[in-house]
Structure 1
């Protein structure tokens, strides 16, 4: 990071030097030893600790990504899906089925899953499609039940903790000291609105406000 390390040195203790003494070299040696001790202490207690934590975090992250790819890799895009032969497709479907055999009220059937993917290989357009686009294609066709379940799992599984970190970042902006008495229900609603801002921008707020006002209007009869 091009940051020069600077270590604070203790105040030098001055003592009276007699006319026949010359200890400049001794003081320089002591100061050099103290500087080296401070640098070594920083290296051992802080620098190496941060490096170990970063390496462990990156290693764990890449291991999770490799595990995720080994299960869902054949569903990432249309090119990977179409490149599989029957044997490879069967192996990928078997691994997925063993990992996520009970995902909802209707389980993923292995034979049906393989059959649907074979049909999907032939019906997908001849262009590179991402997982989102394939899922939209499957939902529009409405005849790939097991494939739809597989893509819903793929698109909702949290590979990292980035989503949780974004939630806490938004929480810091909302839950400040001026809003310390905010109820949990209102806080959850505001956090959801901030996180899903793209979806919120496409909602007609006038209709929601009118609907809310009509349900909560006070109808009082005055005689």
Structure 2
């Protein structure tokens, strides 16, 4: 088992620092190996070494400048590094390259919610149009609509999300939820406290490796 294979195993075990060591040693011999750079970039992000994550993804993008997922991943790293402008530039590029992928819109929406609520609402609507079963986008869209006073629409979004995940609150839960919504509508900044993290929910390790198989043999 070489360093790349060991790194993948450690990554799957969520042993990110150990994975970085194996991948870095492997890259000493194959410095431009996109598989190793990609996994290491995600590992760096997991341990909050965001600039190193951005650097690895930027290196791959020199070779693969038309891969939407790479722009999306770098945008996520920019976001966690608190560089919103760079994050949105990368997310815009990801949307342009992959306009029929709902995750591109929900990813951009999650970032836009911090600076452009109306824009985020439109992105979540587009994500749901492309994937009506996206309970996470429905939930987050409901929260944003709630934040701008669209309480009836927000409630419909929450109900749709609950139906998808198979959660059916009883009447008491519904009354308590209505009171919660009323209280939240009086607060100015409730979004970040309860919005589901699109990146954590969608960007699973399984997706990473499926993605690697699809593009890094080009």
What is the TM-score normalised by the length of structure 1? 0.26
Q: Name whichever structure is richer in helix by fraction.
A: 2
Indicate the structure (1 or 2) with the bigger Cα radius of gyration: 1
**Higher normalized contact order (CA 8 Å, seq sep 6+, divided by chain length):** 1
